[in-house]
Amino acid sequence: MKTATSNTKAALLLLGASLDVLHQESREWLENIAFWKDETKFFANLLNKDENKTSEYSEMLKNLDKIHENLFDYLEDDIKQHERLLSRLLKGQKGLSDGDYREKHRSLGERMDLFTNNFREFKKMVFGYVKKF
C-alpha cells in the first residue's frame, strides 16, 4: 500500500526534484535509522528484564531485534553509498547518470517505506508483549 508520503516522493522524482532535495531526503533517512537504532536498544533493555527471560516469545523478539539492527546497518550503508554517488555526480565525474541516481533514490525510498511499516509492526508486537507484564 502506497502512502501519501511515498506518492509525493514519487511525484518529486518524476518532476525532476533538485539533487539538493534528494540529498536532504537521504539525510533524513539516515537520521531516522539512527533514531530507530536507539529505539531497538530501548526495546532490547525492555525485553531483557528478569521476568521476561524465560519466555520463548521473548527470545523470538530478541532475535527480531537483532535482525532489525542488522537491516539498519545494511540500509544505512546503502544510503551512505548513495550519498557518495551523489557527491561524485555533482563533481561531474564521467560515466555517471543523473537518471541512474534518481532511480536508485526511488528504490531506496521504497525500501525505507517498507522498512518503516515493518518496524512499526515490530514495535506494536513489542509493546503488546510488554503490556502483558
pLDDT of residue 71: 84
DSSP run (H or E) holding 126? helix 98-131
**Contact (CB, 8 A) for 88 and 96:** yes
Tell me what pLDDT residue 101 has: 92
15 and 106 in contact (C-beta within 8 Å)? no
DSSP code, position 96: -
Please tell me the distance from the alpha carbon of residue 52 to that of residue 98, in angstroms, as a whole number.
51
Kindly give the parts of the chain with pLDDT less than 70.
Answer: 1-16, 50-58, 133
Are 61 and 128 in contact by the 8 Å Cβ rule? The answer is no
Q: What is the per-residue pLDDT for 14?
A: 43
pTM score: 0.75
Q: How far apart are the first and last CA of the chain?
A: 33
Distance, CA of 41 to chain centre: 16
